[in-house]
Amino acid sequence: MSDLHLASVPEHVAIIMDGNGRWANQRGLPRTMGHRKGVEAVREVVRAAGDCGVRFLTLFAFSSENWRRPETEVSDLMGLLRAFIRRDLAELHRENVRIRVIGDRQNLRSDILPLLLEAEETTRNNTALTLVIAFNYGARDEIARAAAKLAREVAAGTLRPEDIDAEMLNGRMDTTDIPDPDLIIRTSGEERLSNFLLWQAAYSELLFVPEYWPDFTREQFYKALERYAARERRFGGLSTKTLAAGAP
């Protein structure tokens, strides 16, 4: 359990787990080893998130652009995800964790899709942390798929174009029943979103930390939450200080 005392725990934390390759390089190891160590960090952070009351944790496990990596690395990442679900599903289920998968499910290999569906189905009624795995995920692709759904409804005559608003598009996203992330963390010192949750990140706090993902521990995660708690979110409004000073 955590002995963290925070003024505000984010409801939803999303993480771009970056730097596995560089972590391995630094040690003269193959990139694969970085990904392997990355899975250990996944386990630790999932537990840490559940322990401190985070309700949703989204992890960017495989982007729709990651298919461009060498075939050996792609199959290694697939293998790690499969092994994670096979080995950890029972324990996550025991810990009342609900698993959700976002990303394009079309054309996924037959050795991965059934596992993802099984993980969602087994844990669907769980009520502790929701672990959202972004797999074969790209934000522009997600927005385009949501727009195509609206277009099909217009074509079917069940929706009028003039009635389309942001709320409706939001309702067709993969994340439709998941709140927007309060905090997005990217490890490894890179400072960009790389096509991750672009729609949902409209008001997210962004935090870029220098550690490579395999070095991202429970402690680093809680430090990130402390930095988040010290920030003031305004959602386009005024700061509480300005309001207290009686802004006209």
Q: Which residues are catalytic?
A: 18, 66
38 lines the binding site for ligand FPP (CB under 6 A): yes
Q: Which of 9, 14, 33, 39 binds ligand FPP (CB under 6 A)?
A: 39
17 lines the binding site for ligand FPP (CB under 6 A): yes
Shortest distance in whole angstroms from residue 177 CB to ligand FPP: 20
CA separation for the pair 167, 30 (Å, rounded)? 45
- Which single residue is written with the structure tokens 């522009």? 140
CA separation for the pair 152, 205 (Å, rounded)? 34
Shortest distance in whole angstroms from residue 182 CB to ligand FPP: 20
User: In DSSP terms, which residues pair with 100 in a beta bridge?
Assistant: 132
Q: Which residues contact 125 (CB under 8 A, 6 or more apart)?
A: 98
Q: Interacting stretch for ligand FPP, rule CB under 6 A, among 79-87, 161-169, 176-184, 221-229?
A: 79-87
Closer to ligand FPP by Cβ: residue 72 or 242: 72
Site string for ligand FPP, 107-146 (x = CB under 6 A): --------------------------x-------------
3-state secondary structure 82-118: HHHHHHHHHHHHHCCCEEEEECCCCCCCCCCHHHHHH
Q: Which residues contact 127 (CB under 8 A, 6 or more apart)?
A: 96, 98
Q: Which residues bind ligand FPP (CB under 6 A)?
A: 17-22, 35, 38-39, 42, 59, 61, 66, 77, 80-81, 84, 133
